[in-house]
C-alpha cells in the first residue's frame, strides 16, 4: 500500500485528512476525521470508527471490518507512527 496523494493537518492533530492510496491494484480515496482519540474512516462503500488506545495502537470500535494492514497504514498516515 502506498500513498499517492495526501492533504490534512499535521500528523496527530485533530481534523480532516484525505489521501488516495494504491490498494488492491487500484486507486482508492480515503477520508479520516480525527476528533481526540476517535478516527472516523470513510473509503468507497466502507465506514469504520477506530479508537486510539493508551499504548498508541488502534482498535476498531464499529463499522465495516478493515484489514489490519489498512488500519496500520491509516495509523501511520494520520498519527505519524508505525506499530
Which helix (H) or strand (E) is 63 found in, with range?
Answer: strand 58-63
| DSSP at 1 | -
Q: CA-based Rg of the chain, rounded to a whole angstrom? A: 12
- pLDDT higher than threshold 70 for residue 76: yes
H-helix segments, the chain: 68-79
Task: Name the pTM for this structure.
Answer: 0.82
The total number of structural domains that make up the chain = 1
Q: 9-60, pLDDT tens digit by residue?
A: 666 788 999 988 887 788 889 999 999 999 999 998 889 999 999 998 999 9
Owning domain of residue 72: 2-79
Amino acid at each position: 500500500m502506498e500513498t499517492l496523494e495526501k492533504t490534512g493537518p499535521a500528523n496527530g492533530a485533530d481534523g480532516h485528512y484525505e489521501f488516495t492510496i494504491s490498494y488492491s491494484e487500484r486507486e482508492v480515496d480515503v477520508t479520516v476525521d480525527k476528533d481526540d482519540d476517535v478516527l472516523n474512516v470513510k473509503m468507497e462503500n466502507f465506514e469504520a470508527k477506530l479508537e486510539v488506545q493508551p499504548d498508541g495502537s488502534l482498535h476498531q470500535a464499529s463499522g465495516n471490518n478493515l484489514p489490519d494492514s489498512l488500519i496500520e497504514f491509516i495509523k501511520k498516515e494520520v498519527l505519524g507512527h508505525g506499530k
